[in-house]
Amino acid sequence: MAYTTLRLDHVIDKIKEIPTLPDVVFKVSEVVNNPNTSAADLEDVIAHDQAIAAKVLKLVNSAFYGLPGKVDTLSRAIPLLGFSTVRNLVMSVSIFNISAISEFDMKAFWRHSFATSTAARAIAIADGLPDAETHSLAGLLHDMGKVVMFQYFVKEYLKVIDLMEKKNLTFLQAERELYQVDHTEVGRELTSRWGFPPNLVAAIAHHHNPENAGDLCDFVSVTATANAICMIVDEERLIADLGFEVAAEASEGFHPLNQASYAAVMKDFQRQMPFFKAFVDRMENIRHATPLPSELRRNNKGSVWTVPEKQT
């Protein structure tokens, strides 16, 4: 059914069809946010989900890492990837585990989402803010409403893209000119239904207008700044790549971007960009991988999942 005027109630009807998230998603986030967490703690949580464990191992064994030997256990994979990356991977393959949408540029979406996540975390750490990992997660998930809309309302959202190009509008401006709902409202409704904490819901709902987030304005402003400086300019560059003055201007009115926090963002980008590219290039295969129960097995020494050797 095509909608001449798309409204929030239309979207809510579709949101009701989206299943709730598996417990492992919330448990992984909780473990990563705990400063006393060890790799063994995170491993123990992920090991209870065979599909996610398999995807983590597929990623760490990608050509990017150039490792001499196969990483066949989570106990080796987690330290190599890092807690934040593992958490983001678990979140990504769980929340965005949808059918491929040919009309939606998923590679650009992944690139922007992971860059925003990295920038938000770097800014939080550089500025001495609490909950850097939560800022990272907010950056990762801030645009999730777009994926939902492209999945369920493809025809309507192709019109959004068309209007953007014709009138040189932002995605949000085009949405609001055409319809009575936008991706921020969709993300808010979905994450509220899933029981996400208020700061994450607020960041998803107000990353374009943090002043409307009330008591959570300061938290949301970090997401807004990270989002602004991670807008994609072209295949090679983000706004942040154009220099401090351009990035500061793009984020004006949000969380102040100073020279130190900008330098921290760029340093993390330099370290993470090769991973971004490897991850994005492999994300579709990793995301749609459907391991059989036999693909993973418990070893005899405890909770570590391992990939059995192929029979020859």
Q: What percent of the chain has pLDDT over 70?
A: 81
Name the more confident of 258 and 84.
Answer: 258
Residue 3 in domain: no
Q: Is the pLDDT of residue 34 over 90?
A: no
What's the longest Cα–Cα distance across the chain? 62
Q: Give the chain's domain count.
A: 1
Q: Is residue 2 part of a domain?
A: no
Q: What is the pTM of this model?
A: 0.82
Query: Chain-wide mean pLDDT for the chain?
Result: 82
* Range 98-120 average pLDDT: 80
**Which residues fall within 8 angstroms of residue 205, CB to CB, at 6 or more apart?**
184, 185, 187, 188, 213
Give me the CATH number covering residue 237: 1.10.3210.10
In a domain, 184, yes or no: yes
Any domain includes 191: yes
Report the pLDDT value the prediction gives residue 307, as an integer from 0 to 100: 30
User: Residue 50: inside a domain, yes or no?
Assistant: yes
Domain membership flag for residue 146? yes
Whether residue 145 has pLDDT greater than 50: yes
Q: Which residues of 40-64 are buried (b: 16+ CB within 10 A; e: fewer)?
A: eebbbbbbebbbbbbbbbbbbbbeb
The pLDDT value recorded for residue 303 is 27
**What's the token pair of residue 135?**
């800022």
Beta bridge partners of 298: 305
pLDDT at 204: 97
Please state, in angstroms and as integers, the Cα–Cα distance from residue 83 to each residue in 40, 51, 86, 259, 280, following that order.
Answer: 11, 18, 5, 27, 18
Is residue 254 within 8 A of residue 228, CB to CB? The reply is yes
pLDDT single digits (tens) 199-253: 999 999 999 999 999 999 999 999 999 999 999 998 789 999 999 999 999 999 9
Domain assignment present for 312: no
Q: What was the pLDDT predicted at 101?
A: 62
Judged against a pLDDT cut of 70, whether residue 175 lies above it is answered with yes
56-78 pLDDT tens trace: 777 677 645 555 567 777 887 78
pLDDT at 296: 33
In a domain, 153, yes or no: yes
Q: Tens digit of pLDDT for each residue in 272-298?
A: 777 767 767 666 555 544 433 333 333
Which pLDDT belongs to residue 206? 98
CB neighbours of residue 275 within 10 Å: 18
Domain of 198 in residue numbering reads as: 8-306
User: Looking at the predicted structure, is the pLDDT value of residue 306 above 50?
Assistant: no
Q: Give the pair of three-digit tokens for residue 30.
A: 């909780």
Give the mean pLDDT of 250-260.
Answer: 97
d(CA 116, CA 138): 9
